[in-house]
Amino acid sequence: THELKTPLNSIINFSEYVKKSLINSKAEIENREKLVQLLTVVHKNSMLLLENVNDILDIAKLKSGKMNFLISTFSINKMINSEITNIHQHFDGILIDIVENGEVLISTDEFRFKQIFTNILSNAIKYGNKKIEINIFNDGSSVGFSIEDNGHGIKEKERVFELFEQEDSKNIDRVTKGTGVGLHFIKLLCENLNLNYKLEDSIKLGGAKFTIYKGIK
């Protein structure tokens, strides 16, 4: 339950502090800068909590067989480049290199495929060290994408896919550490969409490499 309580505690405590400070009409100017910082943390934790709740609700739908999928054929290139454009403000100095060798088409649920991509990219941004490479491929037997970073990598590669399980590393601080929901959600989506997933060490960048792919008949 601490996965939900941690952001909630920040929201409750910081918003209470801001409320009391605003009640005091004599609040000093320098104190207002602190209020802005605290409100930024409140907003960040609110979005994190919303993301966690949405993922948990989606997991419940998947496990109960109540999630519907809309299968279509679309360009992985266009989807990824569009998402990068939409969320570029969160990169904060992170270098992202996209490797493309022609347009790659895939038939699956585009919305859920996009969820898988953004979830993996979010992890790479969170745990990487300012450098990410995205590779869009068609190797003749499968189509898909891989995301690799130059972070600390993941040692227990099977365990992190279980619900509420996280990488236990001294290199990951309490603030950066995730909730253990996202990778389990990815696993369930891949299983339901007949997609394959693979987590391994990145030989090129030294961190983690996550590959999502679908076999070509």
List the chain pLDDT tens, one digit each, 217 residues: 455 556 666 777 777 776 666 656 555 555 667 777 777 777 777 777 777 778 788 888 888 888 899 999 999 999 999 999 887 766 677 888 999 989 999 999 999 999 999 989 988 888 777 889 999 999 999 999 999 998 876 665 555 656 554 555 444 443 444 445 678 889 999 999 999 999 988 889 888 899 999 998 7
Pick the CATH number of 71-215 from 3.40.50.300, 3.30.70.980, 3.40.50.720, 3.30.565.10: 3.30.565.10
pLDDT of residue 4: 58
State how far the Cα of 56 lies from the Cα of 181, in Å rounded to an integer: 7
| Residue type, position 139, single letter | D
151, 127 contact by CB (below 8 A)? yes
Nearest to 181 by CA among 127, 123, 130: 123
87, 118 contact by CB (below 8 A)? yes
Residue 183 tokens read as 């990778």
What secondary structure letter does DSSP report for 110?
H
CA angle 105, 107, 112 (to 5 degrees): 110
Work out the number of other CB atoms within 10 angstroms of the CB of residue 112.
22
Nearest to 68 by CA among 96, 109, 128, 26: 109
Domain limits, the chain:
2-64, 71-215
